[in-house]
């Protein structure tokens, strides 16, 4: 029996071992099957990618594909009447991909690169060639970089014919700005190649080295709206750098989106007229539509042809303008700060009436002027009321008005009185920026032509204004910033503006009005002369005005540096500008000729 038990135990153990061995074999086969299946899947996928579908192989092969940025057409700029002020012209950038170039001065039969011939073709020297290549390699060895920008159509034609001889080089179409009327250079601004500091500020990553960007004026402020959205075209090229067609039938291509067109409030004809009137003079004319705040003319003199800052000669011309002793690059309409002279009497008078310090019937004695810090330069009654003081521009009257305002007992002390006066000037648009495209800053005493034009518009509207701005609308349905259409009221009763308006009317119509010589029988004008002291030479000639008196269509400020009295240059120029805009033409040919041909000497100041 014991032997039978041993035999049974052995048989049972042998069966168990066979069963375990079979299980291990099955698992081994299963695992091997899994590995084989995965391997087959990878082999099939690799075969598909490398043999059947060449998509990824070709994308990785930079020698066969060229990724060309498609630059959008920059938005055009028009005046308020649809006159074209800025449009685009085609130019060509010569691009280089350093990896695809073999730079040798040998006769290598396989990859020859005739450096000397290439330099002759582009009209550059060898050192320039080497520097340009270094710059491109530093930018990227694998990706395209600009080698030479803004090549004209004429030069493009003869270069493109033989460019296939030079591997790694190709042309990319770009556009530059053109100004058909050559006016409003400071307003329209210009574009140029993006700087490193501008690239560093590009948080959205839109730009790359060699791109163009708005540098000043409208071009800079509305850069995002004007620039559009870039596109992309993937091209196949052969070993000779010749384009063989679109990759995958253009499946990866992306069309560019053109920039938005912009319509300005500017009247191109009035702008050009103002620039002709300002020839030979230093200063500015700013004209505003009172009912909207849109700027009708934004003249700064001296000016320049905006086409000078276009193309490959931009840098050269910019340096020439920068060195010009007359400083034509300065936009005096917003950067020129001047003593307001007698034009500021409008502000002083309105605040004095609103504070209850004076009334329209208040008189101040104007004899014995030797006892006052300022003297009266006009002949009038010894005790003028408000209307006579405005008509005759009486210095003592408004000096006394200001002094009485800050000393008004209702304010408690002079400090509080002055603070009230200062706060009111702030509400009237002085002492701060307008927060439009025309942000400016200046001291408490100095003003810009833009601010004076806004004062004129506020009086024309009898108590309110819209922040002066350049844009009228976009070419699509995009709304302009709300700040530009928000009405601002300084907190002065309308009745006082009516009193001021009546006084300004007498400056043209009154028997002793300082601008009576420029009165028009069919266009009632309102205005105020200003003669501002200038420590460097003759007085500055200032004038603010608006017309027609009862339904103003235009308000403006004119400042002529070293022009003398306000009625000498500024008042007649302002009157001609108002006539030109309202009538569409002028009838005072002799006055017009005298203003256009008149020149002011600036030798002492320059």
Average pLDDT of span 456-485: 94
Q: What is the mean pLDDT of the chain?
A: 86
Tell which residue, 296, 344, 329, 338, has the closest CA to residue 468.
296
Is the CB of residue 275 less than 8 Å from the CB of residue 285? no
pLDDT over threshold 90, residue 546: yes
| Topology agreement, domain 65-262 and domain 268-306+339-597 | no
Between CA 309 and CA 314 the distance in angstroms is: 4
User: Which residues have CB under 8 Å from 148's CB, separation 6+?
Assistant: 93, 94, 122, 124, 132
Domains of the chain, by residue range, sit at 2-53, 65-262, 268-306+339-597
Q: What is the CATH number of domain 268-306+339-597?
A: 3.40.710.10
Average pLDDT of span 176-196: 93
What local confidence, expressed as pLDDT, does residue 496 receive?
95
Between CA 485 and CA 293 the distance in angstroms is: 8
pLDDT digits (tens, 9 = 90+) for 383-416: 788 988 898 888 888 989 999 999 999 999 999 9
User: Which residues have CB under 8 Å from 220's CB, separation 6+?
Assistant: 189, 213, 214
Q: What is the CATH number of domain 65-262?
A: 3.90.1310.10
Q: How far is CA 75 from CA 106, 224, 225, 309, 337, in A?
A: 47, 10, 8, 18, 33
What local confidence, expressed as pLDDT, does residue 24 receive?
58
Between CA 446 and CA 432 the distance in angstroms is: 12
CB contact burial 483-507 (16+ within 10 A = b; e otherwise): ebeeebebebeeebbebbbebbbbb
User: Among 40-44, 297-301, 446-450, 479-483, which range has the highest average pLDDT?
Assistant: 297-301
Is the CB of residue 595 less than 8 Å from the CB of residue 575? no
Is the CB of residue 263 less than 8 Å from the CB of residue 243? no
pLDDT digits (tens, 9 = 90+) for 70-99: 899 999 999 999 999 999 988 899 999 888
Residue 18 exposed, middle or buried by CB count within 10 Å (0-12, 13-18, 19+): exposed
pLDDT digits (tens, 9 = 90+) for 228-256: 999 998 888 776 666 777 888 778 889 99
Residue 314 dihedral angles phi and psi, to the nearest 5°: -55, -50
Confidence of residue 442 (pLDDT cuts 50, 70, 90): very low
Between CA 196 and CA 201 the distance in angstroms is: 9
Q: How many residues does the structure list for the chain? A: 606
pLDDT over threshold 80, residue 29: no
What's the CA angle centered on 528, arms 522 and 534, to 5 degrees?
A: 140
User: Which residues have CB under 8 Å from 10's CB, separation 6+?
Assistant: none
Confidence of residue 311 (pLDDT cuts 50, 70, 90): confident
Is the CB of residue 363 less than 8 Å from the CB of residue 385? yes
Going by their DSSP bridges, the two strands 77-78 and 262-264 should be labelled as parallel
């Amino acid at each position: 029996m014991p032997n039978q038990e041993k035999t049974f135990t052995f048989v049972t153990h042998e069966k168990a071992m066979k069963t375990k061995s079979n299980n291990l074999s099955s698992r081994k086969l299963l695992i091997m099957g899994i590995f084989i299946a995965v391997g087959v899947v990878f082999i099939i996928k690799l075969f598909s990618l490398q043999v059947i579908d060449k998509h990824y192989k070709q994308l990785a092969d930079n020698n066969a594909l060229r990724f060309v940025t498609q630059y959008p057409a920059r938005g055009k700029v028009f005046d308020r009447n649809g006159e074209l002020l800025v449009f685009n012209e085609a130019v060509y950038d010569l691009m280089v991909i350093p990896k695809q170039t073999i730079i040798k001065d040998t006769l290598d039969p396989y990859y020859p690169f005739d450096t000397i011939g290439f330099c002759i073709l582009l009209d550059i020297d060898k050192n320039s060639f080497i520097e340009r290549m270094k710059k491109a390699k530093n930018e990227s060895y694998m990706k395209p970089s600009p080698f030479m920008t803004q090549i004209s159509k004429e030069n493009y034609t003869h270069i493109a014919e033989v460019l296939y001889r030079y591997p790694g080089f190709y042309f990319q179409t770009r556009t530059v700005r053109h100004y058909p009327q050559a006016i409003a250079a400071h307003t329209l601004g210009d574009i140029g190649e993006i700087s490193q500091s501008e690239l560093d500020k590009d948080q959205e990553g839109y730009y790359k080295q060699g791109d163009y960007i708005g540098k000043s004026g409208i071009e800079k402020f509305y850069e995002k709206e004007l620039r559009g959205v870039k596109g992309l075209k993937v091209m196949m090229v052969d070993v000779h750098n010749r384009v063989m067609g679109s990759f995958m039938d253009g499946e990866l291509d992306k069309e560019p989106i053109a920039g938005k067109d912009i319509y300005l409030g500017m009247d191109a004809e009035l702008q050009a007229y103002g620039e002709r009137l300002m020839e030979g003079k230093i200063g500015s004319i700013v004209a505003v539509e009172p009912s909207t705040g849109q700027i009708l003319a934004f003249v700064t003199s001296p000016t320049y042809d905006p086409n000078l800052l276009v193309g490959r000669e931009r840098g050269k011309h910019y340096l020439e303008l920068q060195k010009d002793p007359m400083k034509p690059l300065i936009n005096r309409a917003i950067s020129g700060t001047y003593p307001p002279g007698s034009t500021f009497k409008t502000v002083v008078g309105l605040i004095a009436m609103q504070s209850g310090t004076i009334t329209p019937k208040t008189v101040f004695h104007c004899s014995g002027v030797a006892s006052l810090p300022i003297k009266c330069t006009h002949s009038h009654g010894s005790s003028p009321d408000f209307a006579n003081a405005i008509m005759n521009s009486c210095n003592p009257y408004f000096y006394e008005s200001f002094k009485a305002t800050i000393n008004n007992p209702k304010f408690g002390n002079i400090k509080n009185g002055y603070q009230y006066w200062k706060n009111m000037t702030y509400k009237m648009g002085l002492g701060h920026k307008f927060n439009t495209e025309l942000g400016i800053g200046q001291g408490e005493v100095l003003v810009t032509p833009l601010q004076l034009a806004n004062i004129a518009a506020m009086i024309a509207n009898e108590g309110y204004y819209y922040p002066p701005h350049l844009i009228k609308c976009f070419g699509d349905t995009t709304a302009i910033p709300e700040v530009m259409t928000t009405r601002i009221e300084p907190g002065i009763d309308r009745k006082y503006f009516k009193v001021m308006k009546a006084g300004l009317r007498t400056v043209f119509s009154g028997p002793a009005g300082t601008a009576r010589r420029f009165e028009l029988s069919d266009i009632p004008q309102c205005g105020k002369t200003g003669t501002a002291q200038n420590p460097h030479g003759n007085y500055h000639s200032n004038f603010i005005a608006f017309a027609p008196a009862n339904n103003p269509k235009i308000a403006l400020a004119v400042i002529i540096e070293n022009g003398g009295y306000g009625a000498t240059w500024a008042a007649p120029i302002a009157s001609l500008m108002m006539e030109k805009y309202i009538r569409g033409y002028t009838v005072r040919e002799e006055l017009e000729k005298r203003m256009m041909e008149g020149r002011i000497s600036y030798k002492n100041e320059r």
